[in-house]
Chain A
């Protein structure tokens, strides 16, 4: 089956003056199958949002290709892109800046229908009402304005807007991380249910692995603009290969206190290096607890593991000598 989304060697550099460039994304590749949820995980500044914005062409990639359903959209004009937008939408992190304060809720949710001339009048109002109910909001809310809603309600409105055209792909950029912990779970459950019912593919961006544990079919781990490991979610959680993935996992809290105490911990030192001047060799070597000389000079490729698991970009995993990380 053709993937709904296929990104190959995506590069996005932002000019930062004086000939410098922020290497926000530096050669990332990933693909999403129909109906699949891919969790894109990484620290702040690793380039996750930039990947998401490139997919919607909210920002133009510097290099690489982006295919939606086998159509190369990397260089399509804004006009040529417009009809394809029926099939992709995005949910933003900040529920306050993602809704136009001058539009009513009904107007916001109905916009995609209007812009693509899919429905109007009575039918449009009915579809908006049905969609609002589907995301757990009263249809009567459509006359309200965003500032009258809570953060959780706003995020549901954003979700309704993204889903009303029944897109094939939804990019969800940290959709719950700005919400109160108490409402995070309910919005996550809602997304899980909707995804199951409607069957859309989803790129779920998060810095918190525990958020995608039950939602994602597969996980891609991103570090400083590159994908360092991908694999089925269960496999990533059970046996993370890349030292960075291991560090992310041990940073994520585990509900069971016994497990929490007994599991091995790989602690990340320091901050993520500046994307203005990413480290040579393996980008993670400056913080890697097991880095060897080769890591400082030679950039590891994302290659499949010898045991057949998901691809990893680490000399120590894919090369000759695999250290026992748990012994550290």
Chain B
């Protein structure tokens, strides 16, 4: 065959194959650790704030107290319960991670689909922009954007979603380019399908696997991004408890109350590690090109 060499899309997951993929996933210790960490993080973020004290309630009789029965993780410089603030901070992290990623997917997938499917003038323009954004270190970009958008959770989410956009567009477009070479897409055209039908039913499902993997890579980066921006004063503002904000305060009291820095630091590390392990596992299972 003298057909052009194109990268084949990852073998799509057909029904019935899902059970097999899950069994393959379950046997691996690292992805399962990741899954457990991520689930724990979700439970903490969703249920934590309901089970703990008011994170803004100040108790001047218990300033910077180490861990005790009343305050399992101690209290901060204003006598606020550190556990309650960790739980509320998890909620902020989750919002920053999930909302920015969802926003990037919502905007990026249609752009990638259209650019890859129709090519013409849109494709080179989009890809040039993508290259430009990717050329910057993402935190530099995020810091700049957050400074422009103003210090707030909204600004953080917008800035973090913007820096994820290029990857989402690139991955979607790549899958579209590979999928549109498949004979079954040509057959769908011959069937009399509209472009919208082909994009939604034939091409988008092929993008799902790689995009899920991308999301699990992007969420921890966004969690770190939120903490970093808030730490720098460009993100969530005190008294809202963000892990980054908590670290900013904690650095003044490293000697007297090291736990104030340790717990947010450990939480950021665990949440990030969880998503990364989960993402690696998903990539191995969903993408045969990763060579496993």
Contacts and interface: CB of A to CB of B under 8 A. Distances in A.
Interface of A: 44-45, 49, 53, 56, 58, 78, 82-83, 85-86, 88-90, 92, 94, 97-102, 111-112, 115-116, 145-147, 158, 161-162
A92 B187 contact: yes
Nearest to B194: A82
Given A100-B184, A101-B12, A88 B192 contact: no
Nearest to A45: B2
A89 B183 contact: no
B192 A86 contact: yes
Contacts of B192: 82-83, 85-86, 112, 115-116
A98 B184 contact: yes
Nearest to A100: B184
B292 interface: no
A147 B14 contact: yes
A288 B191 CA distance: 42
B184 A85 contact: no
B186 A145 contact: no
A58 B184 contact: no
Interface residues of B, number: 24
Contacts of A82: 192, 194
Contacts of A100: 184, 188, 202
B47 to A, nearest CB: 36
B206 to A, nearest CB: 9
Instruction: Name which of B191, B193, B197, B202 has the most chain A CB atoms within 10 A of its CB.
Output: B191
Given A97-B182, A112-B192, A161 B16 contact: no
Given A58-B186, A78-B195, A97-B183, 19 more contacts: A44-B2, A53-B186, A56-B186, A56-B190, A90-B190, A92-B183, A92-B186, A94-B183, A98-B187, A100-B184, A102-B12, A111-B188, A111-B191, A111-B193, A115-B193, A145-B14, A145-B15, A147-B14, A162-B190
Nearest to B184: A100
Nearest to B13: A102
Contacts of A53: 186
Interface string B172-201: 000000000011101111111111010000
Contacts of B16: 145
B51 interface: no
B58 to A, nearest CB: 56
Contacts, number: 68
Contacts of B11: 101
B189 A58 contact: yes
28 contacts: A44-B1, A44-B2, A45-B2, A49-B3, A53-B186, A56-B186, A58-B189, A58-B190, A85-B192, A89-B190, A90-B190, A92-B183, A92-B186, A92-B187, A97-B183, A98-B184, A98-B187, A100-B202, A101-B12, A102-B12, A102-B14, A102-B15, A111-B188, A115-B191, A116-B192, A145-B14, A145-B16, A147-B14
B205 interface: yes
Contact of B190 (A85, A99, A101): A85
B229 to A, nearest CB: 40
Contact of B191 (A83, A85, A147): A85
A70 B282 CA distance: 53
A102 B16 CA distance: 11
4 A-B pairs with least C-beta separation: A115-B192, A98-B183, A45-B2, A85-B192
A101 B202 CA distance: 10
A300 to B, nearest CB: 25
A56 B16 CA distance: 34
Contacts of B190: 56, 58, 85, 88-90, 162
B42 to A, nearest CB: 29
Contacts of A89: 190-191
A90 B186 contact: yes
Given A44-B1, A78-B195, A97-B182, A161 B187 contact: yes
B81 to A, nearest CB: 50
Interface centre among B3, B189, B192, B193 (most CB of A within 10 A): B192
B191 A112 contact: yes
A44 B3 CA distance: 10
A60 to B, nearest CB: 12
Nearest to A79: B194
Nearest to B1: A44
Contacts of B202: 100
Contacts of B188: 100, 111
B193 A158 contact: no
The residue in A49, A97, A99 that gathers the most chain B C-beta atoms within 10 A of its C-beta is A97
A296 to B, nearest CB: 25
Contacts of A44: 1-2
